[in-house]
Amino acid sequence: MPGRKPELRAEPLVVRDLSLCFTSFELNRVSFTVEPGEVTALLGHNGAGKTTTLRLIMGMVRKDGGSVRVGGLDHTRDERAFKIRVGFVPEEGFFYGKMRVKELLAFVADFYPSWDAELCARLAKSLNVPLDKRLGELSKGTRTKVSLLAAVSHHPDVLLLDEPTSGLDPRSRAEVLRLMKDLACAEGRGVLFSTHNLHEVEQIADRVVVVQNGSVIAHERLQDLRRNAGGAWSLETFYLEVTP
């Protein structure tokens, strides 16, 4: 991945017993760790609790219990410092349609002391992001790329993505997946992305966290699953076995 390497070693994202109770849905003591240099897939059907988990991590919804940390930073007690260490790409980002891409990125840059303008410019070029275009003129795929630029150009310890390839054409999907893998492999950052696409998980993930009905029912390294099952292993078979 182009751009300078951060001076500080990335810290893991540690989620412990994260809980939330709505009238019709409960997130039940969700726990997992996103390690530096690895891509972790948060896998589950629609409504399983994936988006709720990501929103709780980012403090967009108030939790009922549990903790979320990056290094020694708690996501609520140290909210500002925590968010400087984390990049977030929501499934549907909010944009001012009349603002140009370069204006949005300049606005976001002011929030991050570690913003890397050179990296942002090079990624924009490699992803074919038109910096002079207005956000309202962009396709969904290009808006996702803009969100990625905003999320990774400050060298976060962890990148969180909610259904990042939803609705993208095959070329845009491949570019987004490649960037996610590069971020982990080349810079040693942790990446967590939610999906229900088994093929994407097999393409880029090192670990998989399976969520169903608000609970984690599996947390495994794909390499271990393949080794233990032998040549006949497939993620689809594993997924069908653990999800009743």
Q: What is the mean pLDDT of residues 60-77?
A: 93
Q: Which domains does the chain have, with CATH numbers?
A: 13-93+158-242 (3.40.50.300)
Q: Tell me the residue length of the chain.
A: 244
pLDDT at 66 exceeding the cut of 90: yes
Cα distance between residue 133 and residue 218, in whole Å: 43
pLDDT at 141 over 80: yes
pLDDT tens by residue, 178-232: 888 988 877 789 999 999 899 999 999 999 999 999 999 999 999 988 888 776 7
Contacts 24+ apart (CB under 8 A), 19-28: 19/63, 19/64, 19/65, 19/66, 20/52, 20/56, 20/61, 20/63, 20/64, 21/64, 25/49, 25/52, 25/214, 26/214, 27/52, 27/53, 27/56, 27/214, 27/215, 28/214, 28/215
> Which residues neighbour 166 within 8 Å (Cβ) at sequence distance 6 or greater?
91
The chain-wide mean pLDDT, for the chain, equals 89
Cβ atoms of residues 190 and 12 within 8 Å: yes
What digits encode the pLDDT tens for the residues 96-126?
A: 778 999 999 999 999 999 999 999 999 999 8
Cα–Cα dist 149/2, whole Å: 12
- Return the pLDDT at 93: 66
What is the end-to-end Cα distance of the chain in Å, rounded? Answer: 39
Q: What's the rounded mean pLDDT across residues 81-94?
A: 87
Give the pLDDT confidence score for residue 3 in this predicted structure. Answer: 42
d(CA 42, CA 56): 14
1 band by pLDDT with thresholds 50, 70 and 90 = very low
Contacts of 123 (CB under 8 A, 6+ apart): 2, 3, 129, 148, 149, 152, 153, 179
Q: How far apart are CA 124 and CA 120, in angstroms?
A: 6
pLDDT of 5 higher than 70: no
Contact residues for 4 (Cβ-Cβ < 8 A; gap 6+): 116, 118, 119, 155
